[in-house]
Amino acid sequence: MKTGKGTLAFDRFEIPYRVYGDHPNVLICVSGALQTMAVWRAVTKKFSPHFTVIIFDMPGVGRSRIVSGSAHVTVEEQLAVVHALIQLAEPRGELTLAGSSWGTAIAAGYAAQHPGAVHQLVLSSFGMKPNAVMEGIIEHAQELYDSGNYAAGADLIVNMFGEQIGPTYKRQIESQFANLSEANADAFHQHCCNILELGHLQDVIDLSRIKARTLIVNGAEDRIIDLEDMWIAEKLIPDCKCLLVDGVGHFLHFERPEILDDYEAFMVSREPLTIA
């Protein structure tokens, strides 16, 4: 397996990325809010024999840098970052986008903007709008931000929607928030504002324009996503299947690693799925 790393200087950002594998088909992974590229470690290991897998840190997250301008990274800028990485990758075969949590909005938005470019789309922990629980979490996060108590953000995440994740990932979350820089905290705060301002996804993204084979995977115990959202999206996206996993919350394969086998069945084997 070939590996590589680099930093993409794009617009007002510096975007660190990693490349795993050397395959004509390309898989680009789009992380959720404040998630670094490290969350895709298991994905890179499993799928690098079948794809050139590219992971990266969004502006304001991890080792990325906002070189100039506001800490507010707009949805349009996030879409442009994904486009720049795709141009960098120059896929020789099919392009697959995999999004997690907030990353599903960016991945779906890109697939709708560029329907001829994306062949497969995997949306993990996908929602159409912030529900009441999410709005409450964002309100609490605002209070922590205002007080400068960034470290308490880890407890907020774990207690509100991460109780089922294992101790290793919990420690990673705690470490990330304990070491959160002021710049990263500002970017995360602005991201929370993005979520509320975006409103309903269908108001800003025409999901019916997506031509990619699409799989939506949600956990039945996910508290921050209204489960009916995935069924709404299934009707809007022309070639879409939904998989609802019992006993799992927002963090999916971190809670149940074998969920990656379902991704493999869809992305690699292209087997029919048993739809819940």
DSSP for 168-208, please give it.
Answer: HHHHHHHHHHHT--HHHHHHHHHHHHHHHHH--HHHH--GG
Phi, psi for residue 10 in degrees, rounded to 5 = -135, 125
Q: According to the model, what pLDDT value does residue 272 have?
A: 60
- As to burial, measured by CB atoms within 10 angstroms (0-12 exposed, 13-18 middle, 19+ buried), residue 145 is middle
Q: According to the model, what pLDDT value does residue 141 have?
A: 86
Q: According to the model, what pLDDT value does residue 273 have?
A: 56
Q: According to the model, what pLDDT value does residue 275 have?
A: 42
Lookup: tokens for 121: 């789309």
Q: According to the model, what pLDDT value does residue 191 have?
A: 77
On whether the CB atoms of residues 270 and 188 are closer than 8 A, the answer is no
Give the CA count within 13 Å in the CB-facing half-sphere of 126: 33
CA 156 to centroid of chain Cα atoms = 19
In the chain the domains, ranked by start, together with CATH numbers, are 3-269 (3.40.50.1820)
Neighbour count for residue 149 (Cβ, 10 Å): 11
On whether the CB atoms of residues 20 and 44 are closer than 8 A, the answer is yes
Residue type, 246: D
Q: Give the residues of the chain that fall short of pLDDT 50.
A: 1, 275-276
Lookup: tokens for 38: 């490290």
Q: Where are the beta strands (DSSP E) in the chain?
A: 3-10, 13-20, 26-30, 52-56, 65-66, 95-100, 120-124, 213-219, 240-245
- Distance, in Å, from the CA atom of 252 to the CA atom of 216, rounded to the nearest integer, reads 12
Measured torsion, CA atoms of residues 178, 179, 182, 186, in degrees rounded to the nearest 10? -70
Bridge-partner residues for 19, per DSSP? 4, 54
Q: According to the model, what pLDDT value does residue 276 have?
A: 43
Tell me the pTM.
0.92
Residue type, 204: V
